[in-house]
Amino acid sequence: MPSEQELAARSLLEVMPRAMRTLGMEMRQLGPNLPPGHVGLLKLLSHGPHRLTELAGHHAVSAPTMSNTVTTLAVRGWVERVRDPQDRRSVLIQITPDGRAVLAGIDQRLSARVADMCASLSAADCQDLQRGLAVIRRVFARDQDGGDNR
């Protein structure tokens, strides 16, 4: 008989692809021809500049692949390459004001769409959803921090 943790893991692995597929379709319809991975990159850069190798590692892609993505976003004017003030030999990637505006628009429209999807939930269901998402956030935060999930 599966443990409670195994049942929770199976449920999570069943729901996540559905949620990601739905959000990906919504992003494509709402955004300016921006793949979900590019939105994730803009979100990461909205917290501060990063080196290309950090971005590649965070997104689990090669440096050349990340460089191509950064170039695409730079051509659109949403990110820029700047010299690292701490190490002039190094380059940082940072989001531009236009990139922040695009990201804010996508976030606003996507939040409104997901809120519409949740409109039929009762207040109790919304509270349950918030509690469940808080648990998921903790589990994945521990994993990213290298912590033990047991």
- pTM, two decimals, is 0.75
**SS3 for 80?**
strand
- Delimit the domains of the chain by residue range: 4-144
* One CATH from 1.10.10.10, 3.40.50.1110, 2.70.170.10, 1.10.3660.10 for 4-144: 1.10.10.10
Q: Are 95 and 103 in contact (CB under 8 A)?
A: yes
Residue percentage of the chain with pLDDT more than 90: 56
Confidence of residue 32 (pLDDT cuts 50, 70, 90): low
In sequence order, the 6+-apart residues with CB closer than 8 A to the CB of 93 are: 45, 49, 50, 51, 52, 55, 70, 79, 80, 81, 82
Q: Is the pLDDT of residue 34 over 80?
A: no
Could you identify the residue written with the tokens 């349950």?
A: 128
pLDDT at residue 144, as a whole number: 60
Contact indicator for 55, 66 with CB cutoff of 8 Å: yes
Mean pLDDT across the stretch 31-55?
87
Mean pLDDT of 84-111: 91
Q: Is the pLDDT of residue 23 over 90?
A: no
Calculate mean pLDDT across residues 5-21: 90
pLDDT at 147 over 50: no
Q: Residue 30: pLDDT above 70?
A: no
Q: With a cut of 70, say whether residue 145 has pLDDT above it.
A: no
Tens digit of each residue's pLDDT (9 = 90 or more) over 60-80:
999 999 999 999 999 999 999
